[in-house]
């Protein structure tokens, strides 16, 4: 352990954010980088922080906690309110054979177990391992955070279990907690085997903070009912990431008899850090992500990462960093190396997810010239198909873009009648698109911004609460953007490579 003084970054609970960060609303000169954070305020509270790491049973990779006040393997203690809540699932080491689950309990409860199997009734009835039900244990941690105000303090108990050695394309039933104090039973499906051409569906969204008009829970219900296999999220889950009450609201939002846990506990939810999340311990402790620490990376390997799902490869990046040089240095180096290792015969689709926009038109935040300079040449070099962005609370779809002008503007590439990229040999060859599409699907609760489709790189734009559904069927893909409040389709695009 090491002794540290916990600092509350009172005025920098998020970096360079607010509904107006002073950026020009047009698509002209892109902004230079992340806004500077105000100076921290020291509350003078000293706690010993620790990091715990281990290899979960049956897994091959190491799981590491962030720096927290307490961490270790689960125990046997049940507190006064031991029933799990905030249950949500993610991809562990490999999408087709593993999953990870996080949940929250009262502070005294340290028992951290999962019961799982192929028979729902058997899992429902079990209070421990049986012939049909397996048990795994995980780790638990406690972190200190602000609660309702910036001056009060609260310790929060989180649990995490990783299950490995599963079968691809299989539905498992599970419940978490411990003997006598289990959650309800949920179901989660592993991904198809790597390279599979069977159809699958994922959702893309971002910016749920503030939960304006209750659209966060409404969208989660719609995404669950649409049959999503996966959900990628481009950041800004909450507004003030140091306030635990905001995270409680994020996980506990409901619409009638539906609560967001009903979706998050069934659909792997893969997150990117936003400027409001700001890599705080609340964010790092409450979400499980693939951890393979690269040079220059913080967050115990959860600052940026990648994973495969069926015939697609995802890279999830962090564009809200302590040092701007990270974006064009260690992170760009990792991105290039990661994409260079992709076998496009196995995963022909390549997607990137991060928060700030390379391309956006006349909205509250200008496009980032810093990200264009650092990452677009890599996207271009490795023919990334789609980049999912957030930050501006709107829906936007770019035209295919490949290359930058001398003034750092995107070059519009060849496109089809619907704004889709073109391919030299559809259905064969390399499947390399003429350009990358940049989507902003980032109003799943945050206050709406204005947007325009008048910029030369923009194909479609609407300032409405939205999310995006993506249907992948071998080398064909369909994007369907929906207005959350009306359910109406606001944009749709289909093409094949």
- Nearest CA to 16 out of 38, 1, 32 is that of 38
Sign of the CA dihedral running 133, 136, 141, 146: negative
> Please, where are the H alpha helices in 28-168?
120-125
Query: In the chain, helix, strand, coil percent, each to 5?
Result: 15, 35, 50
State pLDDT tens for residues 329-352: 999 999 999 999 999 999 999 999
Question: pLDDT at position 9, please?
Answer: 39
Average pLDDT over residues 315-327: 96
- Mean pLDDT estimate for the chain: 91
Question: pLDDT at position 431, please?
Answer: 85
Q: Residue 252 in 3-state DSSP?
A: helix
Residue 10: DSSP 8-state = T
- Domains of the chain, earliest start first: 50-189 (2.60.40.380), 200-496 (3.60.21.10)
State pLDDT tens for residues 436-458: 999 999 999 999 999 999 999 99
Residue 4 confidence (pLDDT) above 90:
no
Residue 69 confidence (pLDDT) above 50:
yes
State pLDDT tens for residues 353-410: 999 999 999 999 999 999 999 999 999 999 999 999 999 999 999 999 999 999 999 9
SS (H, E, C) 367-420: CEHHHHHHHHHHHHHCCCCEEEECCCCCEEEECCEEEECCCCCEEECCECCCCC
> Please, where are the H alpha helices in 100-161?
120-125
- Nearest CA to 281 out of 16, 7, 85, 74 is that of 7
SS (H, E, C) 312-373: EEEEECCCCCCCCHHHHCHHHHHHHHHHHCCCCCCCCEEEEECCCCCCCCCCCCCCEHHHHH
Question: pLDDT at position 92, please?
Answer: 87
State pLDDT tens for residues 7-35: 333 444 444 444 333 333 334 434 433 33
- Torsion angle, alpha carbons of 453, 458, 463, 466, to 10: 150
CB atoms within 10 A of CB 322: 12
Question: pLDDT at position 429, please?
Answer: 54
Q: Residue 12 in 3-state DSSP?
A: coil
Name the band, by pLDDT with cuts 50, 70 and 90, for residue 150: confident
Distances (CA, A) of 455 to 25, 32, 204, 410: 12, 20, 23, 11
């Amino acid at each position: 352990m090491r002794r540290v003084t916990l600092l509350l970054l009172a005025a920098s609970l998020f970096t360079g954010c607010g509904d107006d960060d002073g950026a020009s609303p047009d698509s002209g000169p892109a902004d230079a980088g992340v806004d500077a954070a105000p100076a921290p305020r020291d509350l003078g509270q000293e706690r010993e922080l620790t990091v715990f790491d281990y290899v979960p049973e049956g897994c091959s990779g190491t799981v590491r906690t962030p720096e927290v006040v307490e961490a270790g393997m689960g125990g046997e203690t049940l507190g006064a309110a031991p029933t799990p809540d905030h249950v949500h699932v993610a991809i562990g080491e490999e999408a087709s054979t593993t999953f990870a689950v996080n949940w929250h309990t009262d502070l005294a409860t340290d028992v951290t177990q999962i019961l799982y199997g192929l028979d729902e009734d058997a899992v429902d009835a079990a209070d421990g391992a049986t012939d049909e039900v397996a048990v795994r244990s995980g780790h638990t941690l406690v972190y200190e955070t602000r609660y309702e105000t910036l001056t009060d303090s609260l310790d929060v108990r989180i649990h995490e279990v990783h299950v490995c050695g599963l079968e691809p394309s299989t539905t498992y039933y599970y419940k978490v907690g411990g003997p006598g104090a289990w959650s309800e039973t949920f179901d989660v499906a592993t991904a198809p085997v790597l390279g599979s051409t069977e159809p699958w569906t994922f959702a893309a969204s971002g910016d749920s903070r503030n939960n304006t008009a209750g659209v966060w829970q409404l969208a989660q219900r719609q995404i669950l009912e649409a049959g999503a296999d996966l959900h990628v999220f481009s950041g800004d889950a909450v507004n003030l990431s140091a306030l635990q009450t905001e995270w409680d609201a994020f996980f506990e939002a409901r619409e009638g008899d539906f609560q967001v846990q009903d979706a998050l506990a069934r659909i792997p939810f893969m997150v990117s850090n936003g400027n409001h999340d700001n890599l705080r311990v609340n964010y790092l402790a409450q979400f499980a992500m693939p951890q393979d620490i690269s040079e220059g990376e913080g967050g115990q390997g959860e600052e940026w990462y990648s994973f495969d799902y069926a015939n697609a490869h995802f890279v999830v990046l962090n564009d809200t960093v302590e040092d701007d040089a990270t974006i064009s240095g260690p992170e760009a180096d990792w991105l290039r190396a990661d994409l260079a290792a992709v076998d496009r015969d196995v995963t022909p689709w390549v997607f990137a997810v991060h928060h700030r926009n390379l391309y956006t038109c006349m909205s509250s935040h200008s496009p980032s010239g810093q990200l264009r300079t650092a990452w677009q040449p890599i996207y271009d070099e490795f023919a990334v198909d789609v980049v999912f962005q957030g930050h501006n609370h709107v829906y936007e779809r770019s035209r295919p873009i490949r290359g930058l002008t001398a003034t750092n503007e995107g070059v519009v590439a060849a496109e089809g009648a619907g704004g889709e990229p073109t391919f030299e040999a559809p259905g064969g060859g390399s499947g390399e698109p003429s350009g990358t599409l940049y989507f902003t699907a980032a109003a799943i609760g945050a206050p709406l911004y204005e947007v325009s489709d008048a910029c030369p790189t923009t194909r479609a734009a609407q300032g409405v609460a939205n999310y995006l559904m993506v249907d992948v069927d071998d080398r064909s893909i369909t994007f369907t953007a929906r207005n959350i409040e009306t359910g109406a389709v606001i944009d749709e695009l289909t093409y094949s490579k």
